[in-house]
Chain A
Amino acid sequence: MSANIGTVGRSIPRLEARAKVTGRAEYVHNMRVPGMLHAKVFRSTLAHGRIRKIDVSAARAMPGVFAVYTGEDIRKLIAEPYYGPAFHDQPILALDKVRHVGEPVVVVLAVDPHVAEAAAQLIVSEYDELPAVYDEVEAMTSKAVVHEVLKPAGTFPDLKHLKGKRDTNIALDFHLHRGDPESAFAKSDYVFEHTFRTQQVLHLPLEPFATLAVPGDATLTLHTASQSPSFVRIEIARLFGWPENKVRVKVPYLGGGFGAKLYIKTEALAAACAMLAQRPVKLALTMEEQFYMITKHAATLRIKSGVTNDGRITARECEVWWNGGAYADIGPRVTQKSGFTAAGPYDIDHVHIDSYALYTNLPPAGALRGFGIPQLVWAYESHTDMIARALKIDPLAIRRKNLLREGRPQATGTLMRDAALDAVLERLSERVQWEKAFDHGTEKLRRGRGIAIGFKASISPTTSMAIVNLNADGSCNLYCSTVDMGQGSDTAMAQMVAEVLALPMDVITVVHPDTDVTPYDMATLGSRSTYHMGHAVKNAAEDARVKLITLAQELGLSAETTPIPDIFRKKYGMQAGNIVGVGSFIPPYAPPDANGQTPDATPFWMIGATGAEVEVDTETGQFKVTRLVNLVDVGRAINPAIVETQISGATIMQLGFTLSERMDFDAGQVTNASLADYKIPGIRDVPLIMENEAVDAVQKSGPFGAKGVGESGTFGVSPAIANAIDDAVGVRLTSLPLTAEAIYRALREKAGNPLNND
């Protein structure tokens, strides 16, 4: 082995770059196998109702239809056909009740997908309509109850006490209490209280959800577009009552994920169909169907702060209601983990947080690039500016005054370590030249600027395993179940192997997730892979390195100077054998106590801040984001070019959630379920000036000083823009998305001439 060649820290092109630019990269949506049936789903048109009758006779009679299955047919195969990561609340097909518009009720199988689709349209269902609840705050007390009984999955020990709880829509309530907020409010010079709202949006990966299930001899192989192959295997095996090794889950590249393709999505239905039909079944959703599958929580957030005359925040109270939709998915975890940081990146002695995960009759909500954090930052950073304006304090100065510094305890009591909050804030102020005079434009075209900073705890405690296999010719395979959905994990992991074993990149192959081959990983989510899997990969590579050195020594060779093939040849007399290194990683974690206090809430902190400049037409409310500056702390970047793409990609995605994206509903029916009516950012929506920077920082506990990056770019975008709008025209928007209409209405109201609502 030669000396360290410095692969980590270099902007190496993605391993799969050639496959992607030639259109040859493999995605489940494009897969087909001989004898395959296509599955098409008949969905509920009602938000909440008891199933009275389902008539599938016409669909079954249609020529070319192979089979039609209802929830009752699934129940014959699987006695308890309910799944979910936090609660076993979601049926594979609706049973007894439907709980949201778009819920799968019947599935049709045919060789020709057009036949399956046409047959599905012949199905007739009748329901006894039940009262529905859509609003998250109303759900707290609503008489409409989405689930009669709560069914925690048992995966998370701290949800067990909810088992069997009846007649409530509260799936989880998380509480954090630190110090004595009540007295602190009484003693503070000012108390500010504001309420903010965020809208329901969705991930919308361009490759919609897809699973191809292939039955074998009492086994099942799932090719699936999933971010969590290990979870899929365990959950499908549990449903069938099989050992894990009878289910094989394979994941190629993903055409985007963003948190949508986690846990069980199309997998359980495809698996059940394949087992009932004993034929390969492909369930590939349309763009429209993605709107019914999984979304991002709409939320209502109330924040109250006690503040001194000079802008020091002494107490904060937060109440957050998360609209989880009809099935819990990972919502309870969003509620708890985001609850840790709901008070913001500020040093506040007295904090009280109440966070509620609520069931409603809307499409389910889960994790979307930030696990609830972008909603929280939207609220607390709008609130920060509102306080600053009221007290006539500079927005940068109030943040500097209150920022959590290194070594200080955060609201959970966990100390801030390797969290470059101040470096990110200071570098942001330099990049946007905050302390220089700013041109506010003309009376008609006003200009404004705003900043915002947020942080996030990582997902803990979660496990990653990896295997590094050194072949006799010196080439190397890395086996790990991290899913490359575009974030560049294959490349980053290979760089770590190359670094440890001093190998060139082109001799390393990353074996894609295949649960018969690649070892367990909790999932690709929450920006955890670089840190968690990075550690496991580094450990596996180091294990292989030690074994190689030991082998060389046994043979009287130097591993430093002898080429790897020569070491193998001397040992085995020919090109033969392997060296297998294994690695695993689980970070330290201490669960929170009844007051939400823990000395170890997270293995690392993610930090993101944004500076925004806007131009607002005061006559119409039309506005433009003219500049976005994004600063993050990612520790040390493994691949700086890919890191920058992650920052800007996250920022632009959040720009969509800030300016244009909103699921519209009428009686629980989403009315804009297409790219024609639901506007995601296109190339013309990117601000002409966009700058991204990762500050010079090191995560000392991270592999090669690195930590996660995928979500940090989302944190500050929404409040920075709302703060800039306020700076430009003096109106404050408290609901997302920020639209020209909302600004115009606010301007009219400010002028004492409010617009009629009719």
Chain B
Amino acid sequence: MTTTRTIQFKLNGEPVTAQIGTHQHLVEVLQERGLTGARESCAQGLCGCCTVLVNDVAVSGCLYLAAFADGANVRTIEHAPEGGLDVVQEAFIECGAFQCGYCTPGFILMTRQLLDEHPEPSEDDIRHYLSGNLCRCAAYPEIVKAVKLAAVKRKSYA
């Protein structure tokens, strides 16, 4: 009953070829490849746990059909070109901006995108930009602090 097709895309910098079902979403395909940083939670694109970057834009991987990733540049939280942690990840650790950690990759990817667009975000910018990510442990006050710290770190490293 399923239709399959072969797609090619760049995954965290490496070219890959994947046999996928046309009904499969991107998170499913990533998980089959052992990348579990993007995870399904609400399955409606409301919680942000499934965040993946497609051509540098954050998408809800639980709604994004894998077939659409054909030819795209896909990056996940596992992408670490320098090998270590970036300033956003450092800031999340220093501010204790997570508890269970299930939603954390999504918050980090969105924070990076926020800081790309607004290098010095106000409290309101942060709350607005991250309103599509949910944290049931509610580490929100610490997340706001971490985003501010990451902005400072980026600036001082630049």
Contacts and interface: CB of A to CB of B under 8 A. Distances in A.
B19 interface: no
| Residue in A14, A22, A487 whose Cβ sees the most chain B Cβ within 10 Å | A22
Contacts of A30: 31, 36, 39
A115 B102 CA distance: 27
A454 B94 CA distance: 32
Contact of A24 (B37, B108, B130, B143): B37
A63 B78 CA distance: 36
Interface string A205-249: 111100000000000000000000000000000000000000000
Q: Main secondary structure on chain A at its contact with chain B?
A: loop
B100 A118 contact: no
Contacts of B115: none
Contacts of A487: 99
Given A30-B39, A486-B99, A17 B136 contact: no
Nearest to A685: B140
A18 B39 contact: no
A17 B93 contact: yes
A365 B138 CA distance: 22
A105 interface: no
Contact of A20 (B98, B130, B131, B141): B98
A16 interface: yes
Nearest to B103: A206
A686 interface: yes
B101 interface: yes
B99 A648 contact: no
Nearest to B34: A32
A14 B36 CA distance: 21
Contact of A23 (B38, B99, B139): B38
Interface in A1-34: 11, 13-14, 16-25, 27, 29-30, 32
B47 A645 contact: no
A680 B134 contact: yes
B136 A684 contact: no
Contact of A486 (B41, B42, B76, B101): B101
Contacts of B108: 21
Interface in A110-159: 112, 114-115, 118
A254 B100 CA distance: 6
Contacts of A485: 100
Interface in B33-85: 35-44, 46-47, 49, 76-78, 80, 85
Contact of A683 (B31, B89, B96, B131): B131
Given A27-B39, A649-B139, A486 B105 contact: no
A703 to B, nearest CB: 22
B96 A14 contact: yes
| Residue in A63, A255, A683 whose Cβ sees the most chain B Cβ within 10 Å | A683
Contacts of B128: 684
A16 B102 CA distance: 12
Nearest to B109: A23
A684 B135 CA distance: 12
A683 B136 contact: no
Contact of B137 (A63, A486, A682, A684): A486
Given A255-B100, A649-B138, A684-B131, A29 B80 contact: no
Contacts of B38: 23
Nearest to A686: B140
Bin the interface of chain B by size.
35 or more
A366 interface: no
Given A22-B85, A206-B136, A680-B136, A27 B102 contact: yes
Nearest to B35: A23
Bin the interface of chain A by size.
35 or more
Nearest to A25: B101
B104 to A, nearest CB: 5
B134 A486 contact: no
A488 B85 contact: no
Contacts of A29: 39-40
A747 B77 CA distance: 50
A701 B29 CA distance: 52
B156 interface: no
B46 A648 contact: no
Contact of B104 (A20, A488, A642, A682): A20
B151 interface: no
A676 interface: yes
A683 B142 contact: no
Contacts of A652: 138, 140
Contacts of A18: 85, 93
A32 B34 CA distance: 9
A339 interface: no
Given A21-B108, A23-B78, A686-B140, A205 B100 contact: yes
Interface string A244-272: 00000000011111100000000000000
A568 B38 CA distance: 45
Given A256-B102, A486-B100, A24 B85 contact: no
A258 B100 CA distance: 11
Contacts of A63: 1
A690 interface: yes
Contact of A22 (B77, B102, B123, B127): B77
B99 A675 contact: no
Contacts of A256: 99-100, 102, 136-137
A245 to B, nearest CB: 30
A701 to B, nearest CB: 27
B46 A675 contact: yes
Contact of B142 (A205, A257, A258, A645): A645
A206 B96 contact: no
A16 B138 CA distance: 18
A488 B138 CA distance: 14
A54 interface: no
B42 A287 contact: yes
B38 to A, nearest CB: 7
Interface string B125-158: 0111011011111111111100000000000000
Contacts of B140: 652, 681-683, 686
Contacts of A686: 138, 140-141
B78 to A, nearest CB: 6
B23 interface: yes
B21 interface: yes
Contacts of B143: 683
Nearest to A288: B43
Nearest to B129: A683
Interface string A653-684: 10000000000000000000011100011111
23 contacts: A18-B85, A18-B93, A20-B101, A22-B80, A24-B36, A24-B78, A27-B39, A29-B40, A30-B36, A206-B47, A256-B100, A256-B102, A256-B137, A257-B100, A487-B99, A645-B142, A648-B141, A675-B47, A681-B140, A682-B134, A683-B131, A683-B135, A684-B128
Given A206-B42, A684-B128, 6 more contacts: A13-B96, A115-B1, A676-B44, A683-B127, A683-B130, A683-B131
Interface of B: 1-2, 21, 23, 31, 35-44, 46-47, 49, 76-78, 80, 85, 89, 92-94, 96, 98-105, 108, 123, 126-128, 130-131, 133-144
